[in-house]
Amino acid sequence: AGPLTAQQHRHTGFASPASERSRSASGHQFGTKQGQAAQRTLMGCTQFKGRLGSVRFSDKRQPRQCPYAADAGAEADGSASGQQQAEAKKEADPKLGLTEREVYKLKTSWKAVHRKVSDTGVEMFISLFRTNKDLQAMFVKFSHLELSDNIRENGELALHGELVMGILDEAILNIDNMEVTRQRVRRAAATHQKFAGFYAKLFWAMEQPFLEAVKLTLEDRYNDSIAEIYAKTIHYILGEMEAGFLEN
């Protein structure tokens, strides 16, 4: 008898070699956690190699590998036992200063910010540039940007806002997993070492602009209780970023 057809393979319950190869390839690309990590790496590198989003500082040296490549590679190579260990250790960092109830409220309210992550990022940078002209001057493409009403239509600012907010987004979505949060923000902070004129304390310039941007996004949901939760959260994240910058 000749080789089975694809239909016969399905009837027997076994995948045909061709379909198996196709499924393996597509799964490796996008369907598995490893594939998704690789996809994020490719997408991240197009924006991050030698740049911050679409914004380029003056490089002190040749651009290094995309910082997310290490993340993606670690995820792609991570075993099931490693994931189980991470789950077993899942807890918020005591330095965060939030109760379990407050962590729950943070993650619940953050869903609204997550849906508007690009808009929130733009508002954060508008606020940052209004109060830190010297910092704005460090951004090559934004150094002469006028903070007029149509600034929100600037695609490059939206892209950069989304990139930076994406780091904060991942940190907050995993805020109850101390190791994941610390590794993500410290790794992101360390990549800033290659930018001329950047130093650790500059991370703190984002604190109030971040809170103002979140307040605009949440509107009346941003009450006193939520405001305190976000204040503690961004203080913790920026502290970890400063530490990540200094330890490398």
Integer Cα distance of 192 and 234 in angstroms? 18
Assigned domain for 4 exists: no
- What is the number of structural domains in the chain? 1
Q: How many residues does the chain have?
A: 248
Assigned domain for 5 exists: no
Show Cβ contacts of residue 202 under 8 Å, excluding neighbours closer than 6 positions: 135
CATH of the domain at 190: 1.10.490.10
pLDDT in tens, 19-52: 444 444 444 444 444 444 443 433 333 333 333 4
Assigned domain for 29 exists: yes
Assigned domain for 165 exists: yes
Assigned domain for 189 exists: yes
Give me the domain span that covers residue 143: 14-246
pLDDT at 214: 98
Higher pLDDT, 217 or 142: 217
Assigned domain for 203 exists: yes
pLDDT in tens, 78-126: 444 444 444 445 778 899 999 999 999 999 999 999 999 999 999 999 9
The yes-or-no verdict on residue 193 having pLDDT over 70 is: yes
| Angle, vertex CA 240, rays to CA 176 and CA 201, nearest 5 | 150
In terms of Cβ atoms closer than 10 Å to its own Cβ (0-12, 13-18, 19+), residue 169 is middle
Per-residue exposure over 185-212, b if at least 16 CB sit within 10 Å of its own CB, e if not: bbbbbbbbbbbeebebebbeebeebbbb
Assigned domain for 133 exists: yes
Per-residue exposure over 62-90, b if at least 16 CB sit within 10 Å of its own CB, e if not: eeeebbbbebbeebbeeeeeeeeeeeeee
Assigned domain for 153 exists: yes
